[in-house]
């Protein structure tokens, strides 16, 4: 029997007074991978941002319980320290901040939070080396500024690399497949798969089924107009791929 | 007070009369000084009505009685902490505008090269000085440059004959004290003949706490395929005033880099003018200012593209706290013949408080049709997406802001090729930024 990692109940959220999420219910247990699929504008990315605590997203109702805490009350950094990780759809460039330095700062924040000693640069390099191989990152990337001048594929690999180093309990991957060619997609997916453990979990947000050939989910949920309108196993993704989103969203319209 | 009724230029004119009678130097120099005072008489001090000065009010400078000191001071301030100490090259120390032999150190230079002060060069190499002095900077750019010319006495003199290279950066340290004089007039001249190369650091610092006025003009001539990196660091006390011009005269296929790092004084004005008189010139202008209190830092740059295939790239960053003010005015001329010009200009400023302001004004005048010119000016807060990105990785908001502010300044510092300078500035500016962020 696995433990509940996150329990989202009737979550509604808005941006600038416009309601985007209209009652999401989702429970993710340790060891599970959930895919959230849906057409553009259905609220997929909003869900990711609400979970990570981004400013400008107002939670209007419902609750999110994460590892026994009320997630909504926590600052973004507290969520991260408690093991929540968002892999950004558009990773932010931070000129002037060295990639290794940045990651070590984050890594040590998490260690401090767990009551562990901070790790020095030399030991940290050991941790990093191993994970770099996993994501097939060139050495040079660690000496550059965070995401600055990285190609689209490099940025996404860097996100999963950060995830590998920070070792989160719950990862939310926001359209990690967008803009990736098939080789980069495989590298990223291999990385994510290698990080799967019995006591962690992932929510994979994607528009296309393609990524799910490589990261095989336990559950697939279809998000439309701020609600999960259908849930199923991995075969649901294939069905969506074949029939398109209209099949399901129209179905809902008919039913309503 | 007499200054209320008197024309503010009167005391300067009177001082010049006395100075002209006693000043050393050959006849041509006396003529040059006279030209300077004539221009000054016509121009007077700049006012807010003049286009080049609309953002910076220099009245506070006139409220003091700053008179050029014509005699060297006897004081020997403690300067050890003011050097970039890991550098082993020549160090020239100017105290209140005059070379201090006691504090200076002259390293060996390649045959024919000269690293000395202007007053000495006028005695040892008068023809060379005459050939170059005041040939590049305009005497009538403003009342201040006219005044500088009128009181020419000392400064640095660096000369590199064809093909000579001075590897170790040359440090020029300008220190002001609370001694007898409250004004320094500095005239620096750097001449780099074809394929020669050098790095020059101009560092302006205060050893005293009183108000002090620095009026500096640096003329730099970079000949064909020569390479000059010029790094100016201006860090004077908050009572002081600093008006300076760097005039670079650039020839075919040369390479010129200017860094202007300013933590300011009460008012600091830096004019940096590039004249590109040959093809294939590469120039880079980097600037960083970090100010607080009621400080004003004003950078006026001019990239004059007269010939084809030249690149000029400008990157200016400012961090402002309290009620400080920043000005960036970037002029780019692309003349009719200057096809294939690549001119980039970017000015970005972060204001940490509501009271801090920045005036940024790009000014592009393009007369050629096959050119690439871009400019961008932003003034604002830290990028909120970047702050969130840091927080989403476990870094708290205050630390994220600190990290991003330091990185913003670091982007300019890392462009300096001289490692000890870069490291020392990083340390010093880190502390300065911490003070601003804390407030």
Average pLDDT, chain B: 94
Average pLDDT, chain A: 92
- Tell me which chain A residues have a C-beta less than 8 angstroms from the C-beta of B388: 54-55, 76, 92
**At residue B145, does pLDDT exceed 50?**
yes
Q: Do A86 and B406 touch (CB under 8 A)?
A: no
Is the CB of A170 inside 8 Å of chain B's CB atoms? no
Predicted local distance difference test score (pLDDT) of residue B69: 67
**Mean pLDDT value across residues B238-267:** 97
* Contacts across the A-B interface (CB distance below 8 Å): 75
**At residue B5, does pLDDT exceed 70?**
no
Q: Estimate to the nearest angstrom the gap between the alpha carbon of A215 and the chain centroid.
A: 13
The position carrying tokens 């940290």 is A124
Confidence grade of residue B4 (pLDDT, cut at 50, 70, 90): low
Q: Please report, for chain B, the start and end positions of each structural domain, with discontinuous segments joined by +.
A: 2-277
**Mean pLDDT value across residues B11-21:** 90
Higher pLDDT, A39 or B108: B108
pLDDT for A157-196, tens place per residue? 999 999 999 999 999 999 999 888 898 899 999 989 999 9
The 10 Å Cβ neighbour count of residue A246 is: 10
pLDDT tens string, chain A, 256 residues long: the values are 468 999 999 999 999 999 999 999 999 999 999 999 998 889 999 999 999 999 999 999 999 999 889 999 999 999 999 999 999 999 999 998 999 999 999 999 999 999 999 999 999 999 999 899 888 888 888 889 999 999 988 999 999 999 999 999 999 999 999 888 898 899 999 989 999 999 999 999 998 888 999 999 999 999 999 999 999 999 998 888 888 888 877 755 443 3
Is the CB of A226 inside 8 Å of chain B's CB atoms? no
In contact, A165 and A195? CB cutoff 8 Å:
no
pLDDT for B51-85, tens place per residue? 999 999 999 998 888 887 667 777 788 888 898 88
Q: Do A162 and B393 touch (CB under 8 A)?
A: yes
Q: Estimate to the nearest angstrom the gap between the alpha carbon of A83 and the chain centroid.
A: 12
- Express as a percent the part of chain B with pLDDT over 70: 98
Out of A53, A76, A94, the one facing B407 most closely (by C-beta) is A94
- Tell me which chain B residues have a C-beta less than 8 angstroms from the C-beta of A82: none
CA distance B353 to chain A (A): 21
**Mean pLDDT value across residues B203-216:** 95
What span, in angstroms and rounded, lies between the C-alpha atoms of B56 and A80?
47
Q: Return the SS3 of A44.
A: helix
Question: Secondary structure of chain B in the HEC alphabet?
Answer: CHHHCCCCCHHHHHHHHHHHHHCCCCHHHHHHHHHHHHHHHHHCCCCCCCHHHCCCCCHHHHCCCCCCCCCCCCCCCCCHHHCCCCCCCCEEEEECCEECCCCCECCCCCCCCEEEEHHHHHHHCHHHHHHHCCCCCCCCCCHHHHHHHHCCCECEEEEECCCCECCCCEEEEEEECCCCCCEEEEEEEEEECCCCEEEEEEEEEECCCCCCEEEEEEEEEECCCCEEEEEEEEECCCCCEEEEEEEEEECCCCEEEEEEEEEECCEEEEEEEEEECCCCCEEEEEEEEEECCCCEEEEEEEEEECCCCCEEEEEEEEEECCCCEEEEEEEEEECCCCCCCEEEEEEEEEECCCCCEEEEEEEEEECCCCCEEEEEEEEECCCHHHHHHHHCCCCCHHHHHHHHHHHHHHHHHCCCCCHHHHHHHHHHHHHHHHHHHHC
Higher pLDDT, B8 or A175: A175
Q: What ipTM goes with this model? A: 0.94
pLDDT for B220-241, tens place per residue? 999 999 999 999 999 999 999 9
Q: Do B407 and A96 touch (CB under 8 A)?
A: yes
Q: Do A86 and B392 touch (CB under 8 A)?
A: yes
**Mean pLDDT value across residues B291-300:** 96
Is the CB of A197 inside 8 Å of chain B's CB atoms? no
Q: Is A4-255 assigned to CATH 3.40.50.720?
A: no
- Tell me which chain A residues have a C-beta less than 8 angstroms from the C-beta of B394: 77, 80-81, 106, 109-110, 113, 166
**At residue B3, does pLDDT exceed 50?**
no
Q: Return the SS3 of A154.
A: helix
CA distance A198 to chain B (A): 23
- Express as a percent the part of chain B with pLDDT over 90: 84
- Tell me which chain B residues have a C-beta less than 8 angstroms from the C-beta of A109: 393-396
**Mean pLDDT value across residues B194-202:** 98
Q: At what angle do helices A246-255 and A235-243 cross, to 10 degrees?
A: 90
Residue A113: closest CA among chain B residues belongs to which residue?
Answer: B394
Instruction: List Cα–Cα distances, B283 to A28, A103, B303, B317, in angstroms.
Output: 57, 35, 9, 18
Half-sphere exposure of B245 (CA within 13 A, CB side): 26
Is the CB of A162 inside 8 Å of chain B's CB atoms? yes
**At residue B1, does pLDDT exceed 60?**
no
Predicted local distance difference test score (pLDDT) of residue B225: 98
pLDDT for B329-382, tens place per residue? 999 999 999 999 999 999 999 999 999 999 999 999 999 999 999 999 999 989
Closest-CA residue to A64 (of A16, A25, A31)? A25
- Tell me which chain B residues have a C-beta less than 8 angstroms from the C-beta of A53: 391-392
Predicted local distance difference test score (pLDDT) of residue B24: 85
Is the CB of B378 inside 8 Å of chain A's CB atoms? no
Check residue B204 and give left, alpha or beta (phi > 0: left; psi -120 to 50: alpha): beta
Confidence grade of residue B125 (pLDDT, cut at 50, 70, 90): very high
Angle at B107 between CA B104 and CA B112, to 5 degrees: 120
For residue B306, give the DSSP letter. -
């Amino acid at each position: 029997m696995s433990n509940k990692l996150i329990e989202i109940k009737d979550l509604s959220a808005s941006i600038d007074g416009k309601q985007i999420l209209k009652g999401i219910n989702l429970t993710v247990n340790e060891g599970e991978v959930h895919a959230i699929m849906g057409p553009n504008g259905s609220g997929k990315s909003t869900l990711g941002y609400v979970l990570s605590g981004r400013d400008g997203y107002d939670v209007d109702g419902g609750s999110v319980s994460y590892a026994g805490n009320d997630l909504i009350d926590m600052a973004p950094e507290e969520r991260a320290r408690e093991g929540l990780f968002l892999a950004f759809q558009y990773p932010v460039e931070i000129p002037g901040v060295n990639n290794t330095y940045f990651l070590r700062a984050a890594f040590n924040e998490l260690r401090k939070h767990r009551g562990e000693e901070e790790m020095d640069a030399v030991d940290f390099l050991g941790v990093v080396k191993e994970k770099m191989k996993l994501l097939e990152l060139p050495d040079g990337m660690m000496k550059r500024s965070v995401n600055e001048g990285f190609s689209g594929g490099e940025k996404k690999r860097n996100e999963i690399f950060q995830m590998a180093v920070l070792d989160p309990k719950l990862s939310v991957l926001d359209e990690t497949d967008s803009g990736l060619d098939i080789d980069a997609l495989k590298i990223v997916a291999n990385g994510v798969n290698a990080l799967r453990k019995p006591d962690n979990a992932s929510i994979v947000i994607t528009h296309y089924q393609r990524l799910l050939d490589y990261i095989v989910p336990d559950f697939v949920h279809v998000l439309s107009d701020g609600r999960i309108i259908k849930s199923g196993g991995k075969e649901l993704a294939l069905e969506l791929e074949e029939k398109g989103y209209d099949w399901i969203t129209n179905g809902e319209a008919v039913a309503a | 007070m007499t200054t209320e009724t008197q024309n503010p230029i009167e005391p300067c004119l009177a001082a010049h009369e006395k100075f002209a009678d006693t000043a050393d130097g050959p006849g041509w120099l006396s003529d040059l000084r006279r030209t300077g005072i004539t221009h000054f008489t016509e121009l007077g001090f700049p006012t807010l009505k003049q286009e080049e000065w609309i953002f910076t009010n220099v009245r506070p400078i006139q409220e003091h009685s700053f008179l050029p000191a014509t005699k060297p001071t006897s004081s020997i301030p403690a300067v050890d902490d003011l050097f970039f100490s890991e550098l082993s090259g020549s160090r020239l120390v100017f105290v209140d505008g005059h070379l201090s032999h006691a504090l200076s150190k002259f390293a060996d230079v390649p045959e024919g090269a000269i690293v000395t002060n202007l007053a000495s060069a006028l005695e040892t190499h008068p023809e060379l000085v005459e050939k170059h002095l005041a040939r590049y900077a305009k005497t009538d750019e403003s009342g201040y440059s006219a005044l500088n010319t009128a009181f020419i006495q000392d400064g640095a003199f660096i000369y590199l004959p064809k093909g000579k290279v001075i590897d170790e950066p040359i440090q020029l340290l300008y220190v002001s004290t609370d001694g007898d004089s409250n004004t320094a007039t500095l005239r620096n001249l750097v001449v780099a003949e074809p394929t020669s190369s050098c790095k020059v650091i101009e560092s302006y610092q205060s050893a005293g706490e009183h108000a002090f006025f620095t009026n500096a003009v640096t003329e730099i001539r970079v000949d064909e395929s020569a390479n000059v990196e010029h790094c100016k660091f201006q860090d004077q006390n908050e009572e002081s005033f600093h008006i300076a011009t760097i005039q670079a005269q650039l020839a075919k296929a040369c390479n010129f880099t200017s860094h202007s790092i300013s933590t300011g004084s009460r008012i600091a004005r830096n004019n940096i003018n590039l004249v590109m008189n040959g093809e294939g010139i590469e120039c880079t202008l980097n600037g960083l200012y970090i100010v607080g209190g009621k400080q004003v830092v004003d950078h006026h740059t001019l990239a004059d593209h007269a010939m084809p295939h030249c690149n000029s790239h400008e990157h200016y960053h400012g961090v402002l706290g309290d009620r400080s003010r920043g000005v960036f005015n970037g002029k780019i001329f692309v003349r009719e013949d200057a096809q294939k010009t690549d001119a980039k200009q970017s000015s970005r400023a972060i204001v940490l408080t509501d009271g801090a302001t920045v005036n940024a004004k790009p000014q592009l005048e393009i007369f050629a049709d096959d050119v690439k010119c871009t400019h961008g000016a932003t003034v604002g807060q830290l990028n909120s997406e970047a702050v969130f990105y840091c927080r989403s990785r476990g870094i708290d908001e205050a630390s994220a802001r600190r990290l991003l502010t330091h990185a913003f300044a670091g982007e300019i510092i890392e462009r300096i090729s001289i490692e000890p300078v870069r490291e020392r500035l990083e340390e010093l500016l880190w502390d300065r930024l911490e003070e601003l962020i804390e407030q």
